[in-house]
Amino acid sequence: VRTVRFHGYGGPEALQVERVSRPEPGPDELLLEVTFAGVTLPVVRLTRGGPSLPHAPGGDVVGRVVGMGANLRGWRIGQRAAGMAFSGAYAEFALVNAGFAAPVPDDVSDEAALALVRGGQVALGTLHVAGVRPGDSVLVTAAAGGVGHLTVQLAKLLGAGRVVAAVGSASKADFVRGLGADDVVVYAQDWGEPVDIALDGVGGDVFRQSLNAVKPFGRLITYNGVGGSLDVNELRMRNQGVIGFSMAQFAALQRDRYDEHRDELWKLTASGELSPVIHRTLPLDQAAEAHRLIEARENLGRVLLSPAQDS
C-alpha cells in the first residue's frame, strides 16, 4: 500500500511516496482506509529536522474502519471514523488510537470531520479554557489557518463581541471577514484597541504582541508549538493572565468535556452554523505541494491529501 515518508531532512521535496505492507492494528488501534489526511504546520516543520528517520508524517485522518485491535468494543467494520495518526497519516491505510477517534455522524462530511477532529477541538478547547463570556472581545492569531478559521466562527457562535482576526498578510482579510471577524489586523501593523481575550497559535514575536493586546484583567491563551517568553512581573503590572492549552492533555484529563465538545462541533456543522473550509485537496504524490502551501503561509482553511485521488 502507498504511504508518504522522508529519509532525510529538508524541504517539501524530501517527501516521497513509497510502497509498504498494510499496517496491523495494535490492541487499542483502529485501522482506517483513509479518505482524507490533514496537512498542518507542526507536522510540516518536522521535515526540517527532529524525528528519527525514515519518518512517515502523522496527523488528523478520516476514513472507513477496516480493522481493529483486540481491546476495542463498540466499533464496526465499514463505519466512518476520524482520529489522529501519530505517524503514517499520509497513506492509503492509517492506524489511529481509538481513544482519540470518533465515529462520524451521517450528516457530517468526511472533509468537515477531518477539520473538526483536531482543529475544531483546539478552537473550542481554547475558547473554553479562556472562559469567553457574551460580549467579550476576542483576538485570534493565525486566524485563517486550520485552527484559527474555526476559532473565529466559534467565538461569534459563543456570543463574543468584537472578534479581531490577526493574520500574516492583508490578502487574508476578505476570507476572515467572511468567517465573521469584525476587525482584521496584520502582524506587522498596529493592533488597535485592546481585547479581553487573545488566543495565540503563532508564538515568538506574535505571542508578545498578543500579550500586549490584552486589557488589564484580560487573559491570553497560548497553544502555539513555537513558544514565547514573558516576565511574570509584566503580568502583575497589568493584571493579566496567561493560560496554556494542549489538546492531548485536555482529551486525557477532561474526557467528558472533550466528548461534549466533539458532539457540539458535529451538531454546529450539521446545522450549517459552523463551516470548516478546505483550501485545497491534493493526491498523495503531491504531498510536497501540500507542505509548500503551508510553509508559504498561503492556506485559507485546511490543506488535505486524498489517497484515492490521482494526480
Ligand X SMILES: NC(=O)c1ccc[n+]([C@@H]2O[C@H](COP(=O)([O-])OP(=O)(O)OC[C@H]3O[C@@H](n4cnc5c(N)ncnc54)[C@H](OP(=O)(O)O)[C@@H]3O)[C@@H](O)[C@H]2O)c1
Closest to 43 (Cα-Cα) out of 107, 2, 87: 87
Cis peptide leading into residue 283 (ω within 30°): no
Interacting residue with ligand X among 224, 240, 269, 286 (CB under 6 A): 224
Q: Which is nearer to ligand X, 55 or 149 (CB)?
A: 149
Q: Is 100 in the site for ligand X (CB under 6 A)?
A: no
Determine contact, residues 269/276, Cβ cutoff 8 Å: yes
In angstroms, what is the minimal distance from the CB of 299 to ligand X? 5
The pattern of x and - marking residues 285 through 304 that bind ligand X according to CB under 6 A reads ---------xx-x-x-----
Interacting residue with ligand X among 3, 35, 40, 210 (CB under 6 A): 40
Question: Residue 78 to residues 54, 70, 75, 91, 113: CA-CA distances in angstroms?
Answer: 31, 17, 9, 18, 16
Beta bridge partners of 137: none
Q: Is 145 in the site for ligand X (CB under 6 A)?
A: yes
In angstroms, what is the minimal distance from the CB of 191 to ligand X? 14
Determine contact, residues 146/301, Cβ cutoff 8 Å: yes
Q: Of 106-114, 176-184, 243-251, 283-291, which part binds ligand X (CB under 6 A)?
A: 243-251
Which residues from 202-221 bind ligand X, rule CB under 6 A? 202
The pattern of x and - marking residues 107 through 126 that bind ligand X according to CB under 6 A reads -----------xx--x----
Interacting residue with ligand X among 11, 27, 42, 50 (CB under 6 A): 42
Q: Is 165 in the site for ligand X (CB under 6 A)?
A: no
In angstroms, what is the minimal distance from the CB of 92 to ligand X? 23
Q: Is 31 in the site for ligand X (CB under 6 A)?
A: no
**Which H or E run contains 295?**
helix 287-295
Grid coordinates representing 203? 508564538
CB proximity list for 68: less than 8 A, separation 6 or greater: 25, 29, 30, 31, 75, 77, 98
CA dihedral 299, 278, 139, 210 (to 10 degrees): -40
Q: Which is nearer to ligand X, 80 or 118 (CB)?
A: 118
Q: Which is nearer to ligand X, 94 or 251 (CB)?
A: 251
Q: Judging by beta carbons within 10 Å of its beta carbon (0-12, 13-18, 19+), is residue 107 exposed, middle or buried?
A: exposed
Q: Which residues bind ligand X (CB under 6 A)?
A: 40-42, 118-119, 122, 142, 144-148, 167-168, 172, 201-202, 223-225, 245-247, 294-295, 297, 299
